[in-house]
Amino acid sequence: MSEVGCLFCDLQTSGRERIVVENELAYAIRDAFPVTKGHTLVIPKRHTLDYFELSPDEVLAVNELINEQRQILLGFYRQIEGFNIGMNCGRVAGQSVWHCHVHLIPRRKGDSEYPKGGVRHVIPYKGNYEDLR
């Protein structure tokens, strides 16, 4: 089921050249505005607002592509030493595209001055939990 005017629904028909891999319920593309080289979005085919609306089968399909893309990226970019996997669910969490999608962001040594705390840095001054004790 697609939503008229939805970027990620439209990609399934008029933007198929951007799709790098797909399965029955999800597909993956490279992010148009990558945080790092290889930044990938894994997107369920059915129009859902966020992760919490996915069916169990869709969760499995999305996770399958996350793991598959991780292996491909590790083989292609030898400098990758880690990944951030994330979603923005809701306006206050930073969601700006209203179709569920998962960010798979490859990380390399030195790409962040202070990487400890990872996704905790979305709230200013909360990333370094050791300083919060």
**CATH number, domain containing residue 93:** 3.30.428.10
- Give me the domain span that covers residue 64: 7-132
Residue 77 lies in a domain: yes
Burial of 43 (0-12, 13-18, 19+ CB in 10 A): buried
Structural domains counted in the chain: 1
Residue 37 lies in a domain: yes
- pLDDT tens by residue, 4-27: 789 999 999 988 899 999 999 999
Which pLDDT does position 108 carry in this prediction? 94
User: Using a CB cutoff of 8 Å and minimum separation of 24, what contacts does 68-73 make?
Assistant: 68/21, 68/28, 69/20, 69/21, 69/28, 69/40, 69/42, 69/104, 70/104, 72/21, 73/38, 73/40, 73/104, 73/106
What are 87-116's pLDDT values in tens digits?
Answer: 999 999 889 999 999 999 999 998 877 667
How many whole angstroms separate alpha carbon 12 and alpha carbon 3? 11
Q: Which of 93, 99, 109, 123 is nearest to 46 (CA)?
A: 99
Mean pLDDT of the chain: 89
Please, which pLDDT band fits residue 131 given cuts at 50, 70 and 90? low
Is residue 2 in some structural domain? Answer: no
Does a structural domain hold residue 1? no
Does residue 51 sit within a domain?
Answer: yes
Residue 36 in any domain: the answer is: yes
